[in-house]
Amino acid sequence: MKQVVIVGGGISGLATAYLLREKAKAAEVAIGITLIEKERVPGGKIRSIKEDGYLCEWGPNGFLDNKPQTLELCQALQVDNRLMRSNDNARKRFIFSGGILNRLPENGPSFLKSSLISWPGKLRLAMEPFIPQYSGSEDETLAAFGRRRLGEEALNKLIAPMVSGIFAGNPETMSLKSCFPRIAELEAEYGGLIKAMIRLAKKKKADIAAGKVVASAAGPGGVLTSFRDGIQTLTDILTAELGMTVIRSGEETISIAKGESVPWRVVTDRGEYSADALILATPAYASASFLDGVDAAISGVLRQIPYATMTVACFGYEKEKITYDLNGFGYLIPKQEKLSTLGTLWDSSMFDNRAPEGKVLLRSMMGGACFPEYINFSDAEVEQRVRFDLEKTMGITAAPSFIRIFRHEKAIPQYTVGHGKRLESLTELVARHAGLILTGNSYRGIGLNDCVAAAHRGAEEALAQLQ
């Protein structure tokens, strides 16, 4: 029987193990799977913390239902009936600018009425169809793309906050093609974003007239989806499904080397494993350390993928002390506003069961690639800065009755300029080592959906190599 060792028990490792097992069964291929996770409870950055009636997400708070892989995984696990989709409040998203929260416009008329972008900024946006296509061969930053196609104001008030909200990233260094490949494709195919929207709208109308089934408007990208008891429900179910026969939790990988009788040898603090296929579902920096003695070139490329810091502050309040209407998803804050937080999510407005009756839960983000030093703030300073920002943005002067602060020194991988070439190099270098597979959110997408999609690819690649 061929053996597979997976290092890393976050959502990527857990999903890879489960999908590989199921694909092997379907193909009638006998394999043994061992997943090694150093933490006692698998799940990686997915952790739902329940305290004092509040439910705080330590990391991601769900996934979008506009891509099939995670929904299909939930169906295979027979837990799709336990999914909880965010309510309609989540459609309402805001940007703090000019001293107020401005709702992000969802259509042309609402955009014209919005005070978020000035009239000169709106006129600059209206010129977008007349901007020439990008003709350069170099990887373009998100900031360069924004300035070129949409103007400085749209970059500062729309693109930059979005980049900080999704990636905790700096648009001056992030790659357009790697972060938002579809946007780059639209410009290349249609010559511009507005041209693409018009052409796609016409195509959709024609498809509907012809009786074809079409997707709904993209909007923010689907409906945010989780579970009543938090997104950790998914990793807990995968952990239970795989069981102790597969998962070695609380076991730390010490070293990885090429084997003699089998391709790979994995040494942990509890023992040693031989493997025909080795899947590293660990962050790029951890995978680099593991592979130092195997291939220094691979490790060198992996270390070129930086990570942004993040501090998450969960504040609970008595609802009667909040006068602002929390009917929405939350808001992002442009860097030019000179506040400490990147934005705040109104968690208890999106999902039930996030706060006790009569209370609300707000989750503020701080740090990111633009402010890495914020990770060193004390709890007292984090609280002071978050409270200052909440008063500025929503007029909240009351002291929170519940506070939990979480720090992530290496929270989110940054797809900086050149990321695509780094992936090309990794593909060539990894191909030299039979049975070695890299997966996770360091490469082709940071979201939960991306991790599950990568798990599918990794499981299929492993199975193909073992057959």
- Give the CATH number, domain containing residue 99: 3.90.660.20
- 54: in domain: no
Is residue 151 domain-shared with residue 299, that is, in the same domain?
no
pLDDT tens, residue by residue, 349-385:
999 999 999 999 999 999 999 999 999 999 999 999 9
If pLDDT is split at 50, 70 and 90, which confidence band does 216 have?
Answer: very low
Give the number of domains in the chain. Answer: 3
Going by C-alpha positions, the residue among 222, 214, 149, 146 that lies closest to residue 179 is 146
> Residues 274-294, buried b or exposed e (16+ Cβ, 10 A)?
ebbbbbbbbbbbbbbbbbeeb
pLDDT tens, residue by residue, 406-445:
999 999 999 999 999 999 999 999 999 999 999 999 999 9
pLDDT at 215 over 50: no
Is residue 148 domain-shared with residue 71, that is, in the same domain?
no
Is residue 225 domain-shared with residue 86, that is, in the same domain?
yes
DSSP states of 119-130 = HHHHHHHHTGGG
The residues near 86 (Cβ < 8 Å, ≥ 6 apart) are: 62, 223, 224, 225, 226, 329, 350, 351
Picking from 390, 414, 438, the residue at the C-terminal end of a domain is 414
- 154: in domain: yes
CA distance 463 to 467: 6
Is residue 462 domain-shared with residue 393, that is, in the same domain?
no
Range of the domain at 162: 107-209
pLDDT of residue 228: 95
CA distance 317 to 359: 6
Q: Which domain CATH number covers 175?
A: 1.10.3110.10
pLDDT of residue 261: 87
- 57: in domain: no
Enter the DSSP assignment of 328: S
Is residue 124 domain-shared with residue 223, that is, in the same domain?
no
Is residue 18 domain-shared with residue 133, that is, in the same domain?
no
In a 3-state reduction of DSSP, which class is residue 255?
Answer: strand
Is residue 81 domain-shared with residue 116, that is, in the same domain?
no
Is residue 281 domain-shared with residue 201, that is, in the same domain?
no
- 275: in domain: yes
Is residue 34 domain-shared with residue 73, that is, in the same domain?
no
The pairing of strands 277-280 and 272-275 is: unpaired
pLDDT tens, residue by residue, 118-158:
999 999 999 999 999 998 889 999 999 999 999 999 999 99
Is residue 163 domain-shared with residue 292, that is, in the same domain?
no
pLDDT tens, residue by residue, 220-278:
468 999 999 999 999 999 999 999 999 999 999 999 999 888 999 999 999 999 999 99
CA distance 339 to 439: 36
In a 3-state reduction of DSSP, which class is residue 38?
Answer: coil
DSSP states of 235-279 = HHHHHHHH-TTTEEET--EEEEEE-SSSSEEEEESS-EEEESEEE
Is residue 266 domain-shared with residue 167, that is, in the same domain?
no
Alpha helices in 217-354 (DSSP H): 232-242, 284-290, 296-302, 347-350
The residues near 281 (Cβ < 8 Å, ≥ 6 apart) are: 6, 7, 8, 9, 10, 12, 13, 16, 439, 440, 455, 458
- 453: in domain: yes
Is residue 301 domain-shared with residue 162, that is, in the same domain?
no
pLDDT of residue 221: 64
pLDDT tens, residue by residue, 27-39:
999 999 999 999 9
pLDDT of residue 30: 95
- 361: in domain: yes
- 179: in domain: yes
- 393: in domain: yes
Q: What is the mean pLDDT of the chain?
A: 94
pTM strictly above 0.85: yes
CA distance 395 to 313: 18
- Residues 332/333/335/341 CA torsion (nearest 10 deg): -90
Q: Which domain CATH number covers 269?
A: 3.50.50.60
pLDDT at 214 over 50: no
